């Protein structure tokens, strides 16, 4: 398929990290018309409001990026919010999209849907083959339900809904609240504040041994547009870079990029989460797409972005 300049594409969750990147990608290329609404303008948890929105606007394509997201602490503190809000958002958007003639929908899942001890690198077929990581199981269960809803609507109604499973994402637009942020923005902020305060140490959660794969959000956006055009199947497809790094090595790399001269301490009383999470991206590569932004390059860009707007008062 091909996007036309007259096609209307709805980006649900355009203010989030991923949605904003997809919006930038579409606007920059000028390959279609783009539709978006803030959460105050359209509450995706409200079925009636979502139904009216789709009936009145009739988008041709949908990127479903809207979700309640957060790190280990947020997931552990608000499990009911994570499962309720994400189930409501997904159900309302997928169903309304089908009933209002959307040609194709791309559902953004998360690599946390896979079992905690899945064989590495994780293949798409690993889904539901073992227990989930307890620290984010409620978010993961909601995302699995969204993925399966796409499969069900494809089988029963012939609705062209695909599910993509990104690895850990970072980049412009990330959140730096230490209570809710993911590991890269949290470490960037910690090392930056330690540098300007001349603190002798920075504490990192866990042992530092877990390994994670990280992808720049602009690479993810490019992959999502590529798959919208080039992929159509009920089998979910992983999006990642095919390489991982230990949290301790990540901390050392961020320390170098920030220019912090102190010591790194690891708080082993804090949870590590999944020991390793690396996606098998062979199916993605078979579609003709590979990541382009290296981790070091992406981290330098992310740090420049953070410093450009940093205001200590805004984080209190």
Tokens standing for residue 11: 């980006």
The answer to whether the annotation marks 277 as part of a ligand binding site is no
- Does 300 count as an annotated binding residue? no
> Helix axis angle, 295-309 relative to 247-258, nearest 10°?
50
**283 marked among binding-site residues:** no
Residue 213 CA to residue 16 CA, distance in Å, equals 20
Say whether 108 counts as a known binding-site residue: yes
Is 111 annotated as ligand-binding?
Answer: yes
CB 13 within 8 A of CB 65: yes
Q: Is 16 annotated as a binding residue?
A: yes
Token pair 């990290």: residue:
17
CA proximity to 135, closest of 9, 14, 271: 271
Q: Which residues lie closer than 8 Å to 186 by C-beta, 6 or more apart?
A: 71, 176, 178
272 assigned to a ligand binding site: yes
180 is in an annotated binding site: no
Distances 140 to 115, 134, 177 between C-alpha atoms, Å: 10, 10, 22
Known binding residue 226? Answer is no
Is 168 annotated to bind a ligand? Reply is: yes
| Euclidean distance between CA atoms 90 and 133, whole angstroms | 22
| CA pseudo-torsion sign 295, 235, 221, 114 | negative
- Catalytic residue flag (residue 10): no
Which residue is catalytic, options 10, 98, 114, 139? 139
Contact in structure between 82 and 71 (CB atoms under 8 Å): no
Question: How does strand 211-212 pair with strand 245-246?
Answer: antiparallel
Task: Check the annotation: does 15 bind a ligand.
Answer: yes
280 labeled binding residue = no
Q: Say whether 227 counts as a known binding-site residue.
A: no
Rounded Cα–Cα distance for residues 177 and 156 (Å): 42
Structural Rg of the chain based on CA atoms: 19
Task: Say if residue 19 carries a ligand binding annotation.
Answer: yes
Binding residues for NADP(+): 13-19, 108-111, 143, 166-169, 182
Binding residues for substrate: 190, 205, 212, 272
Q: Residues with catalytic annotation?
A: 139
Binding residues: 13-19, 108-111, 143, 166-169, 182, 190, 205, 212, 272
């Amino acid at each position: 398929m091909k996007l036309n300049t007259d096609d209307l594409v709805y980006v649900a969750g355009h203010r989030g990290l991923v949605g904003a990147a997809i919006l930038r990608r579409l606007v920059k290329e000028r390959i279609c018309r783009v539709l978006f609404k803030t959460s105050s303008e359209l509450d995706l948890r409200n079925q009636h409001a979502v139904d009216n929105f789709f009936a009145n606007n009739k988008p041709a394509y949908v990127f479903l990026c809207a979700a309640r997201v957060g790190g280990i602490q947020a997931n552990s503190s608000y499990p009911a919010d994570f499962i309720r809000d994400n189930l409501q958002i997904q159900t309302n958007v997928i169903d309304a999209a089908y009933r209002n003639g959307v040609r194709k929908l791309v559902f953004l899942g998360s690599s946390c849907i896979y079992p905690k001890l899945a064989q590495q690198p994780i293949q798409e077929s690993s889904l539901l083959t073992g227990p989930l990581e307890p620290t984010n199981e409620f978010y993961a269960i909601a995302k699995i339900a969204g993925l399966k809803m796409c499969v069900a609507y494809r089988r029963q109604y012939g609705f062209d809904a695909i599910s993509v499973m990104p690895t850990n994402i970072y980049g412009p637009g990330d959140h730096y609240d230490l209570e809710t942020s993911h590991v890269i923005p949290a470490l960037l902020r910690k090392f930056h504040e330690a540098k300007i305060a001349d603190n002798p140490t920075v504490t990192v959660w866990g042992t530092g041994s877990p390994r994670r794969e990280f992808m720049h959000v602009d690479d993810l956006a490019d992959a999502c547009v590529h798959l919208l055009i080039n992929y159509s199947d009920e089998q979910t497809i992983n999006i990642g870079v095919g390489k991982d790094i230990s949290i301790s090595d990540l901390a050392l790399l961020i320390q170098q990029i920030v220019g912090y001269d102190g010591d790194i301490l690891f708080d082993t009383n804090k949870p590590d989460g999944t020991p390793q999470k690396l996606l098998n991206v062979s199916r993605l590569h078979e579609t003709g797409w590979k990541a382009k932004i290296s981790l070091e390059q992406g981290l330098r860009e992310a740090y420049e972005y953070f410093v450009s707007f940093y205001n200590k008062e805004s984080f209190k």
